[in-house]
Structure 1
Amino acid sequence: MGKIAVSITCAKNDTDKATVGFVVANASVASGQETVVFLTVDGVYLSEEGYTNDIHEEGFAPLKELMSQYLEAGGQLWVCSPCFKKRGLDEEKLVNGAKIVGGAKLIEFLSQGAACITY
């Protein structure tokens, strides 16, 4: 089993990239890879419960559904701590399965041979 990190830097400012990031993450976890989605910069907004309810790019499943499928399949969802704090988000409103981490956690994962793709 390999290791894949999918870094998502956008949210409603680029719903296409946010959606495709989770499509790729779902493909990764479905193929048996240890997969981490790292939400950073504006991507941290995706970690807020209810935020993705109205995001649905044509040709893809709704983003909320993609995120749920990813987490149910065993994918990990990490949220950049400094980015989260900078935007004044509330930890009480995190989606189930999301974990706030620092950059060192991502670096540790990458140093174990993980490939990374960024959206």
Structure 2
Amino acid sequence: MSGKFLINLTCGLDNTDKATVAFVVANAAVASDKDTVVFLSIEGVRLSQQGVADAVHEEGFAPLKELMDNFAAAGGRMFVCSPCFKKRKLDEAVLVAGAAVVGGAKLVEFMSDGCPSISY
């Protein structure tokens, strides 16, 4: 059984319900001692910017910023799709804790020895 877990998140403010649930699952995975990565792609890359998630609070869940902060504090990592990030002209100087802009090879390396994943 793999000690890793990947959550692929393609949504951000365009679907805050999916973004919130993705980080709920990410927190569960990291709390289960899985080496956990949230891969932010497409519109999800916007969540890599400080302040973007601050006002998101889906009913019945913790605020998105709190979920993201807890995930990073527990050792979770966010891989931010480099081409998606560049296309949206985002700022690498204001990345949230735990986030790193990476190319596809880094994602493939993480998943290469068998890694369950889920997509939102």
TM-score by length of 2: 0.96
Query: SS at 1:112's partner residue?
Result: coil
Shift of 1:96: 2.3
Alignment length, in residue pairs?
119
Corresponding residue for 2:68?
Answer: 67
Distance in 2 (CA, whole Å) between partners of 1:76 and 1:53 is: 19
**Alignment of structure 1 residues 76-115 onto 2, 5 Å:** 76-115=77-116
CA RMSD of aligned residues (A): 0.9
1:77-100 Cα deviation digits (max 9, x unpaired): 110000000001011111122111
Shift of 1:108: 1.1
Counting aligned pairs with the same residue, the percent is 61
TM-score by length of 1: 0.97
Shift of 1:33: 0.7
Query: Which shows bigger deviation, 87-96 or 37-46?
Result: 87-96
* Structure 2: segments with no counterpart, 5+ residues: none
Query: SS at 1:92's partner residue?
Result: helix
Distance in 2 (CA, whole Å) between partners of 1:65 and 1:94 is: 16
